[in-house]
Structure 1
Amino acid sequence: MLQVLAAMATGSSASKAGAASVSGLALVVVAFVLLDAASVSHAQLQVGFYVGKCKGTDVEAVIRGVVQARFKQDPSILPALLRMQFHDCFVRGCDASILLDGQSSEKNAGANASVRGYELIDEIKAALEKACSGVVSCADIIVAATRDAVVLGGGTRYDVQTGRRDGLRSSVNDVNLPGPSIPISNAIGFFNAKKISTEDMVLLLGGHTVGITHCLFISNRLWNFNGSGGPDPSMDPALVRSLRVTCPQNGDGDNNPVNLDQNATSANVVDNSFFKQIMAKRGVLQIDQRLADDGQTRSTVAGLAAGKLDFGKRFGGAMVRMGAIEVLTGSQGEVRKSCRAVNKQSVEATLEEIVDGLLAAQ
């Protein structure tokens, strides 16, 4: 559209006036649509959105059943789904854009290289399409499946709001997620920009109570922190010695897995052990340890570690709030038939084509 407007700058004054009128009207219409969408989208999410909408099928029970079967075979699906929801919601909102296939889709971003669980979402979607085609969105499946996995992993159950619609776009260029060494102030800015509070940021990073990282992402903390030739002084020396065995200096173990929660009896359980570990300087990722060391987050971490703040209940609340980031509802987006592909041409693209056509006719 910008190219059309630029080209018309060399036209007649009448054309310019017509173009200005049409483009101005288009901008006003789009502005009102966007403002209205922003104000109502979160409000349209609700607990039990699909009750009575799937030909008598209990949508959340179907999702729960598939997740339970997978969890029995592979409990690591829990951290996989937590990561999937985070990576989806923090790029263009919780719209399942991470699920779309394509050479330039979000899936192919470096930050998403190790995201997995796509086939589980496909399995759930197939079951729901059989029950009621075109009703349940892929975006809602991600959120509900993640909740069910959290509960199976020992976490406190929380109600999920549903009613999301699926996005129509997925681009590798949209993926801009924080790295494992981001300073706390920068991390707070990143989360706050999505209307996620600092406390909720701490809680969401508490999802590292389960899951793994790889030696590649922590070797600098073990062997040559910031070019010092030694380990990160903020890491417990006993942990340094232990992790150096798993992650040798020559890089041969770059792909070796390392538990994010270093409490061996709790590494696969959703509890507050992660916070106890980072308070003891046993954080594996630099961002995790910084949560305990930075004055902006330390008191929250200490409260969670001591049990003064109930991690189980608060984590569920933070997940719900993350699940409401920039959602599409109502007539926005679509409900995909396949989570890997859009059903139709983007509504936004269609609007631009209509406006461009009107401008070109002047």
Structure 2
Amino acid sequence: MKKIITFGEILLRLSTRIGVRTVQANELTLHYGGAEANVAVSLANFGHDVRFVSKVPDNSLGTAAESHLRLYGVDTSHLLRGGERLGTYYLETGVGERSAKVIYDRKYSSISELTEEEIDFDEIFQGASLFHVSGITPALSPILQALTLLALQKAKDHGVMTSFDFNYRSKLWSQKDAANAIAPLLPYVDICSCGELDAIHLLNIEEAPSSLDKEMKLQYYYDKIQEMYPNITYMSSTFRQVISASANTLQGNLYTDGVLYHSKVHHIEPIVDRVGGGDAFAAGILHGIIDGQTPEQIVSFATAASALKHTVHGDCNVFSVDEIKGFIDNGSGRIIR
């Protein structure tokens, strides 16, 4: 069992029912989620010893968020209490040709007021094998930008493998601000989740020739990133074709040692809940790496995990390793007897 640390904000999510817009809603469905929390839940479901580092208010919402994590086996011994707000977001569920929409309400949340004095990364990283954080965390406050960098530096000091998901959110910060904050982080990253748009807009890489197909373009961008940051051992992303809010295709990509590997294409219809699909993919990649799988196995497992996440409500993936492997072996739609 590997000890894994994730660092980020757990959020309260309030969602409309399918077919109801936010302006119409008189009831909302409650879930808890957030990028690093979702990855933590997936990895705990995969049998790892996962610790979630964050801060939540010392009230009933903070207790409920902690209960959510503990329900799925995530260790909350590094979950601090304080501040007055649990970050919240509202999801207007998409359907058909109408896209989903998100409204954030997370300013002045408890984690945004976290200070360096409250957290001991030297103690947290003792005996850890992997540390994961995303670009959402440094987007929340200047303090968290500094703490994200410190966390990555401390992880490397302790010999811990590090993972960073760009996870750019335009509603949280500008491309310029994100680029300036992310650049100092990347020299401390071993595993990176990023795609073509991240390469162009956040790393200022020249666009690939238009004559290249999408696989060759991605290879081009990953080669360029590897030149800039030779410390990054793995890069991953997905190709998603959005047919409608209810139907997508999904293919996973994994780059290592200069070679780009692809999963099969999954046809996902109907989509029950797309939120958290990227986090499920990221967790699948991390599990495959620390489990010592081949690149082909890693990307196949991660994409299958993401495809399954689209079939359940809520932010987090609730499937075990055996269930995902069974899905890969048996295909979709069969009755498991």
TM-score, L = length of structure 1: 0.25
Q: Which has the larger radius of gyration?
A: 1
Higher strand proportion (structure 1 or 2): 2
Structure with more relative contact order (C-alpha pairs < 8 Å, separation 6 or more): 1
Q: Normalization by structure 2: what TM-score?
A: 0.26
